[in-house]
Chain A
Amino acid sequence: GAVVSQHPSWVICKSGTSVKIECRSLDFQATTMFWYRQFPKQSLMLMATSNEGSKATYEQGVEKDKFLINHASLTLSTLTVTSAHPEDSSFYICSARPPLIGGRGFTNEKLFFGSGTQLSVL
């Protein structure tokens, strides 16, 4: 199956610092990647859709100036949590979808997830 690599797997930082998380698709090109956040015992909440070569699309309530997304190549998207605060502590997960087969159909829409990044802000 498709492989998505996410780094780092965990990070501890002081309040006010910025943290960058990388997401790479290792064996396919991903024009679109997704960033999710998950608080303990809660589901994945989509934060933003990262589009290669263009601006990310943020979900309602997600601060685009705080969560900077860069998708500069077809295999790499980064999420930077700027001026992190304790309430930003969460499990951040990226995902990507291999190219659709047969054009714009409803098949082959499986998401493959990175291993996640546990962020703890002190």
Chain B
Amino acid sequence: QKEVEQNSGPLSVPEGAIASLNCTYSDRVSQSFFWYRQYSGKSPELIMSIYSNGDKEDGRFTAQLNKASQYVSLLIRDSQPSDSATYLCAVKPYSSASKIIFGSGTRLSIRP
């Protein structure tokens, strides 16, 4: 079982709709969770971090964490073509002092 799993996609969403990206993780006691956006040929850019169960909103982005079910999700409201990218879920395992494990990423395509 991979430590961090994501559906590779591509996920196609019409412009203006809500895009929902999901991620599951295997280390039950992980404490820190991140969503990164990566455009083709570029390095990842941090979008959201979440540490507690529940929702965390930042502009059009909402991160949701459910530790009991070991999943974290990212919602993008009012999707724009510029949101088209690969979204990487990242988790810091409790056992790790510093390193962060990335999922394989979900390719999101926003169609006009």
**Contact (Cβ within 8 A) B102 A112:** no
Find out whether the CB atom of B43 lies under 8 angstroms from the CB atom of A115. Answer: yes
Report whether A109 and B32 are in contact in the complex, using a CB–CB cutoff of 8 Å: yes
Report the contact-size class of chain B (Cβ under 8 Å from the partner).
20 to 34
Most buried by A among B34, B42, B49, B98: B98
- Residues of A near B41 (CB, < 8 A) are 91, 116, 118
Chain B, range 65-112, C-beta contacts under 8 Å to A: 88, 90, 92, 98-105
* Cα–Cα, bound, A46→B101 (Å): 8
**Residues of chain B at the chain A interface (Cβ within 8 Å):** 31-32, 34, 41-46, 49, 51, 88, 90, 92, 98-105
B43 and A116 form a contact (CB under 8 A): yes
Alpha-carbon separation in the docked complex, A45 to B101 (Å): 8
A107 lies within 8 A of B51 (CB): yes
Interface presence of A49 (CB below 8 A): yes
Are B32 and A113 in touch, CB under 8 angstroms? no
C-alpha spacing A50/B15, complex, angstroms: 42
B45–A44 CB distance below 8 A:
no
Q: Is A24 an interface residue, CB under 8 A from the partner?
A: no
The reply to whether A46 and B49 form a contact with Cβ atoms under 8 Å apart is no
Cβ contacts A76-116/B at 8 Å (1 or 0 each): 00000000000000010100010000000011011111111
Residue in contact with B46 in the complex, picked from A34, A106, A112, CB distance below 8 Å: A112
Does A54 interact with chain B (Cβ within 8 Å)? no
Listed residue (B31, B43, B90, B92) with the most chain A CB atoms within 10 angstroms of its CB? B43
* Known contacts A106-B32, A110-B34; A44 and B88 CB within 8 A of each other: yes
Q: Are A111 and B100 in contact (CB under 8 A)?
A: yes
